[in-house]
Amino acid sequence: MNSIESLSYKEALKELEALVAKIESPDADITNLSDDVKKALSLVKHCREQIRGFSEELDKIIEQ
């Protein structure tokens, strides 16, 4: 697996969706739940940071 920081927004979102499906599954392994939730939170944070960066970039373009 790539480090989260190196993932594009699309890649991170895809991993997050898969992880959420895994967590929500009735067959989810509770022993890994904490690690899965931590990774999901890291992916959410990464996606938010990328969105914030895109938004700032667009604001600069619009202001020109």
**pLDDT tens-digit profile of 9-35?**
999 999 999 999 999 999 988 898 999
Could you tell me if residue 3 is inside a domain? no
Best CA proximity match to 22, nearest among 46, 43, 49, 4: 43
Could you tell me if residue 49 is inside a domain? yes
**pTM (2 d.p.):** 0.84
Could you tell me if residue 2 is inside a domain? no
pLDDT computed for residue 1 by the predictor: 47
Distance in angstroms (rounded) separating the CA atoms of residues 9 and 46: 8
Range of the domain at 27: 8-63
Could you tell me if residue 39 is inside a domain? yes
Distance in angstroms (rounded) separating the CA atoms of residues 51 and 63: 18
pLDDT computed for residue 16 by the predictor: 97
Number of domains, the chain: 1
